């Protein structure tokens, strides 16, 4: 996931000024809350959850091919 640096908010600032977080979500579609300068929480509009949670079929196929290729020898041994 690519993150717009304008969407980053410290956890302290989010705690003190949540309306800023909501405004960032309205403007950018997402806000990332940092804890100890590490992305920790993602805030997004409720309506976006289903579209973001479902991976396109092409992505699922690519991921499964990569996993199978990575663990091919072990899977072949298990198949015996």
CB 38 within 8 A of CB 16: no
Structural Rg of the chain based on CA atoms = 19
Indicate whether 23 and 61 sit together in one domain.
no
CB 33 within 8 A of CB 41: yes
β-pairing, 8-10 vs 30-35, is parallel
Q: What is the pLDDT of residues 34-65, one digit of tens each?
A: 999 899 999 988 877 766 666 666 677 787 78
By residue range, what is the domain housing residue 76? 54-80
User: Rounded to whole angstroms, how far apart are CA atoms 35 and 15?
Assistant: 11
Indicate whether 27 and 59 sit together in one domain.
no
Indicate whether 1 and 37 sit together in one domain.
yes
Tell me whether residue 49 is in a domain. Answer: no
Q: What is the pLDDT of residues 1-28, one digit of tens each?
A: 566 788 899 999 999 999 999 999 999 8
On whether the pTM is more than 0.85, the answer is: no
Q: Give, in order, the Cα–Cα distances in Å from 54 to each of 57, 70, 75.
A: 9, 24, 27
């Amino acid at each position: 996931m690519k993150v717009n640096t304008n969407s980053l908010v410290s956890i302290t600032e989010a705690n003190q000024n949540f309306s800023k977080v909501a405004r960032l979500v309205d403007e950018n579609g997402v806000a990332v809350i940092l804890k100890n300068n590490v992305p920790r929480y993602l805030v997004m509009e409720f309506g976006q959850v289903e579209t973001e949670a479902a991976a396109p079929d092409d992505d699922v196929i690519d991921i499964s091919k990569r996993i199978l290729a990575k663990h091919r020898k072990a899977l072949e041994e298990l198949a015996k």
